[in-house]
Homo-oligomer: A and B are copies of this chain.
Amino acid sequence: MNCFYNWREHVGVQKEKFYKTTLWQGEHLMLGMNCLEPGQQQQAHAHDGADKFYFVLEGSGRFTVGNEVCEVEAGGIIIAPARIEHGVVNTGLERLSLLVGITPGIK
């Protein structure tokens, strides 16, 4: 089992829809990455039985969690508790790369 990763080796691009990849899936955690090109977005959605976080690796975007909206740059952490609607749009000029954790992971 590989326990060591570097996010820069897992960046990807997808034109039709933002890019998603899974780094690791365990009993209690799914850790992955989302990469959004400028203008791409993740529509608001909620996870019924799972907490989620995003960590902004590069770029910037406008995140919505419930009624809160915040522009977040690299180094920012966004929490989406279970059942709370959340989404993001890349409002910047660069790729927006996110480390994403969903707990427990969606199987």
Q: Spell out A's residues near B (CB within 8 Å).
A: 1-8, 23-24, 26-29, 31, 49-53, 55, 57, 63, 65-66, 68, 70, 72, 75-82, 84, 99, 101, 103-104
7 contacts between A and B (CB under 8 A): A3-B84, A4-B77, A4-B78, A24-B79, A28-B51, A28-B104, A77-B99
Choice from B5, B27, B70, B72 contacting A77 with Cβ under 8 Å: B5
Minimum CB–CB distance for A1 against chain B, Å: 7
- Given A28-B50, A81-B26, A103-B103, is A75 in contact with B4 using a C-beta cutoff of 8 Å? no
Contact B70 A4 (CB under 8 A): yes
A65 to B26 CA separation, bound complex (whole angstroms): 15
